[in-house]
Chain A
Amino acid sequence: GENVEQHPSTLSVQEGDSAVIKCTYSDSASNYFPWYKQELGKRPQLIIDIRSNVGEKKDQRIAVTLNKTAKHFSLHITETQPEDSAVYFCAASYDSWGKLQFGAGTQVVVTP
């Protein structure tokens, strides 16, 4: 089955700096890669996703890149703000039933 590894497990950044989270996946058949943000005590919410036929996608201050050959994808957050503090999860999906394999999560702390 699919295995997703996520690094780092914690990330502390100064407000205004950039944050990068990296994930690798094992199954080359994976074709959908979402990123979820989970604030303390809240539900995970999708912030951006990318499909295997696209190499990069951007939405305001967040962007995701995908390298299918190396089987890794990354989340980039620019101009970080305190409200970006949360746990971020990457995930990969390879089957038509929408089964997501999540990474272990990255705790991002943005300090003013």
Chain B
Amino acid sequence: DTAVSQTPKYLVTQMGNDKSIKCEQNLGHDTMYWYKQDSKKFLKIMFSYNNKELIINETVPNRFSPKSPDKAHLNLHINSLELGDSAVYFCASSSLEGISYEQYFGPGTRLTVT
């Protein structure tokens, strides 16, 4: 009955590779987000989709490409991985139509680029 789930939990890969992270939520929310948390714990928004439409696109290298096949899923594909991409990536979801603005976070994907 996990609310927001991500796969994989850990990802170790070499520079130059391409990888994807998947996220799914079963809360019936209409909005999903990708955050990057660096080694200093700083949480920064990367992208957001509302009803499959991109609504937030921060200053992120175009090697990062999000994709939302439906309201319950948001994936993140990263091309040509670099050392600086090493971080924990969190998916989150919320409902912009409801009373609560709470964002529910997934367990995170720890990406290590060697």
Q: Which A residues contact B (CB, under 8 angstroms)?
A: 32, 34, 38, 42-46, 49, 87, 89, 93, 96-102, 104-105
Asked whether, in the complex, the Cβ of B31 is within 8 Å of the Cβ of A43, the reply is: no
- What distance in Å separates the Cβ of B31 from its nearest Cβ neighbour in chain A? 6
Asked whether, in the complex, the Cβ of A34 is within 8 Å of the Cβ of B102, the reply is: yes
Question: Which secondary structure dominates where chain B touches chain A?
Answer: strand
Binary interface encoding of chain B residues 55-86 relative to chain A, with 1 for a CB under 8 A from any of its CBs, else 0: 11000000000000000000000000000000
Asked whether, in the complex, the Cβ of A44 is within 8 Å of the Cβ of B105, the reply is: yes
A16 to B45, CA, bound (A): 35
Binary interface encoding of chain B residues 98-111 relative to chain A, with 1 for a CB under 8 A from any of its CBs, else 0: 00011101111000
Can you give 23 contacting A-B residue pairs, CB < 8 Å?
A: A34-B103, A38-B41, A42-B107, A43-B107, A44-B43, A44-B105, A45-B105, A46-B103, A49-B102, A87-B41, A93-B101, A96-B96, A97-B31, A97-B48, A97-B55, A98-B48, A98-B94, A98-B96, A99-B48, A99-B56, A100-B103, A105-B41, A105-B42
Q: What are the residues of chain B within 8 A of A99 when measuring CB–CB?
A: 45, 48, 56
We find that the number of chain B residues with CB closer than 8 angstroms to chain A is: 22
- What distance in Å separates the Cβ of B102 from its nearest Cβ neighbour in chain A? 5
A34 to B44, CA, bound (A): 15
B90 within 8 A of A: yes
- A sample of 9 more A-B contacts (CB under 8 A), given A43-B105, A49-B102, is A32-B101, A44-B90, A97-B96, A98-B31, A98-B103, A99-B45, A101-B45, A102-B42, A105-B41
